C-alpha cells in the first residue's frame, strides 16, 4: 500500500539574505493565509538559517493580529535575517569552514514542521533549495531583493522601493548640481546587476548611467559631459551601479579609490575640469517605508506560496510574470543570473532618451 501523504498542519517561515522593504508584507500574507485560510500553525524562524543552527532553535509562533496591517508599513523584517554564513561552508571562529547543513535540517525537524517557506534573493534561495533537497523538506521560495536579480520573475519584493529611493536621491541632487555647476555622481547598489541604476537613471533624468552589463569607458563618459557643457548645460547627473567597471581599469584601482563612484569623480574631474561630488546611497535603498508596489507584490506572492503548499506543489518559487502570479521549479531559478538585458526595453529607452551609457553606441 502506498504510504499516505502527511497532512500539512504546521509550516516554518524565514527571511534570508539582505533585508528590503516589503518583507513584513510577505510575512503578514503568509500568516493570514496559512492560519485563517488553511487552519495551520506558522512558526517564524529567527535570523534566516541562523535560527535553525541555534540550540534551542530560535523560532516563535506567528498569528494574524487585528492590527497586523501595521506590518505593511514597516521596513526591514520582524523575523530578522542574515546574509552571512553559507551553511555548506560556514566560517568557524578558528578560521576554518565547516559544512553545517545537517544541523540546519535537524533544526527544521526539531520544530516538527511539515513545510518551509523561505523569502530570499538568488543566493539565499540557492542555499535553501539545496538544504530542502538534502533534508527532504517541502519548500517554497519567495523572491525578494533590491537587486532584482532573481531569474524567472519580473520583480522581486523590495526592488520598487529601492528604485524610488534612488530616484528621489536624483531629485534632490539635481537642484544642487544645477546651482553649483557640478557633476553629481550617484553610486547605487545592485550587486552584479544594474537594474536599480538603469531604472532610477531613467526615472530621475540622469545624463549618464553606467551598469555592469554594458562595457563603458571613461573617455565616452568624459566626452558626453563635455558635450553637455557645449550646449549650455553646466551640470550633469551620473548614476553608476556599484559593480559597473570601466574597460581597461583593474579592480584594485577602484578599490583603492573607495569604489567606483569615488574613482569616477576623481577621473571625471581630471578629464573634464568639472567640479564633481559623490553620493554613495548604500543601505538607504534597503530601508524605509515600503512602496505600495512592494506591499502588493509581497501580499500576492505570500498568499500564493501558502496555497502551493496546500496543493502539495513544493520545490517551486512563486513569481510575478506578465501581470500574473505564477510559480516555477526552483531548478529554473537557482544559479541562473537575471541581469539587465543590453538589448531590452530599459536600455533601448535610455538610448532613445539620449542617456549616455558610456559605450560608443549612439542613440
Looking at residues 286 to 315 of the shown chain, list those that interact with ligand F6P (rule: CB under 6 A): 286
Q: Pseudo-torsion of CA 120, 123, 125, 127, nearest 10°? A: -130
Enter the C-alpha cell of residue 342.
543590453
Residues 191 and 188: their CA atoms lie apart, in Å, by 9
191 contributes a contact to ligand F6P by CB under 6 A: yes
Query: C-beta of 268: minimal distance to ligand F6P in Å?
Result: 23
Cell representation of residue 233: 548645460
Helix, strand, or coil (residue 193): coil
Strands 115-120 and 10-15: parallel
Q: Which of 147, 207, 294, 307 is the catalytic position? A: 147
Contact between 147 and ligand F6P per CB under 6 A: yes
Whether 147 is catalytic is yes
Q: Residue 142: helix, strand or coil by DSSP?
A: strand
Q: Scanning residues 117 to 136, which ones bind ligand F6P (CB under 6 A)?
A: 121
Whichever of 41 and 242 has its CB closer to ligand F6P, that residue is 242
Which residue reads 517557506 in cell numbers?
117
Among 190, 194, 246, 290, binds ligand F6P (CB under 6 A): 190
Q: Are 159 and 143 in contact (CB under 8 A)?
A: no
| Phi, psi for 224 (deg, rounded to 5) | -65, -45
Window of 3-11, 48-56, 144-152, 213-221 that interacts with ligand F6P by CB under 6 A = 144-152
Binding mask 257-286 for ligand F6P (x = CB under 6 A): -----------------------------x
Of 16, 30, 10, nearest to 303 by C-alpha is 30
**Cα three-residue angle 5-10-13, rounded to 5 degrees:** 120
The 7-36 site mask, x for binding ligand F6P (CB under 6 A), equals -----------x------------------
CB of 124 to ligand F6P, least distance (A): 9
Q: Is residue 83 involved in binding ligand F6P (CB under 6 A)?
A: yes
CB of 145 to ligand F6P, least distance (A): 5
Q: Which residues are catalytic?
A: 147
Amino acid at each position: 500500500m502506498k504510504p499516505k501523504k502527511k497532512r500539512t498542519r504546521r509550516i516554518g517561515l524565514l527571511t534570508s539574505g539582505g533585508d528590503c522593504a516589503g518583507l513584513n508584507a510577505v510575512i503578514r500574507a503568509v500568516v493570514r493565509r496559512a492560519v485563517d485560510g488553511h487552519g495551520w500553525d506558522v512558526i517564524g524562524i529567527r535570523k534566516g538559517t541562523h535560527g535553525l543552527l541555534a540550540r534551542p532553535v530560535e523560532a516563535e509562533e506567528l498569528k494574524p493580529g487585528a492590527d497586523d496591517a501595521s506590518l505593511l508599513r514597516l521596513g526591514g523584517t520582524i523575523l530578522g535575517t542574515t546574509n552571512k554564513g553559507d551553511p555548506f561552508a560556514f566560517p568557524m571562529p578558528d578560521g576554518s569552514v565547516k559544512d553545517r547543513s545537517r544541523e540546519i535540517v535537524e533544526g527544521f525537524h526539531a520544530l516538527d514542521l511539515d513545510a518551509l517557506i523561505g523569502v530570499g534573493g538568488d543566493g539565499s534561495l540557492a542555499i535553501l533549495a539545496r538544504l530542502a533537497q538534502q533534508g527532504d523538506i517541502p519548500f517554497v521560495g519567495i523572491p525578494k531583493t533590491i537587486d532584482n536579480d532573481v531569474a524567472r520573475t519580473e520583480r522581486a519584493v523590495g526592488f520598487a522601493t529601492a528604485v524610488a529611493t534612488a530616484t528621489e536621491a536624483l531629485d534632490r541632487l539635481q537642484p544642487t548640481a544645477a546651482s553649483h555647476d557640478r557633476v553629481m555622481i550617484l553610486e547605487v547598489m545592485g550587486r552584479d546587476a544594474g537594474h536599480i541604476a538603469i531604472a532610477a537613471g531613467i526615472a530621475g533624468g540622469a545624463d549618464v548611467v553606467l551598469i555592469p552589463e554594458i562595457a563603458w569607458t571613461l573617455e565616452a563618459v568624459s566626452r558626453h559631459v563635455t558635450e553637455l557643457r557645449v550646449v549650455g548645460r553646466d551640470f550633469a547627473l551620473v548614476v553608476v551601479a556599484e559593480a559597473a567597471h570601466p574597460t581597461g581599469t583593474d579592480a584594485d584601482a577602484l578599490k583603492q579609490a573607495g569604489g567606483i563612484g569615488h574613482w569616477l569623480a576623481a577621473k571625471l574631474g581630471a578629464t573634464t575640469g568639472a567640479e564633481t561630488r559623490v553620493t554613495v546611497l548604500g543601505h538607504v535603498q534597503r530601508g524605509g517605508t515600503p512602496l505600495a508596489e512592494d506591499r502588493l507584490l509581497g501580499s500576492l506572492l505570500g498568499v500564493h506560496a501558502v496555497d502551493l503548499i496546500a496543493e502539495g506543489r513544493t520545490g517551486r518559487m512563486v513569481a510575478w510574470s506578465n501581470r500574473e502570479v505564477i510559480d516555477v521549479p526552483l531548478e529554473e531559478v537557482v544559479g541562473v543570473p537575471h541581469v539587465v538585458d543590453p538589448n531590452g526595453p530599459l536600455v533601448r529607452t535610455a538610448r532613445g532618451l539620449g542617456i549616455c551609457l558610456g559605450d560608443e553606441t549612439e542613440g
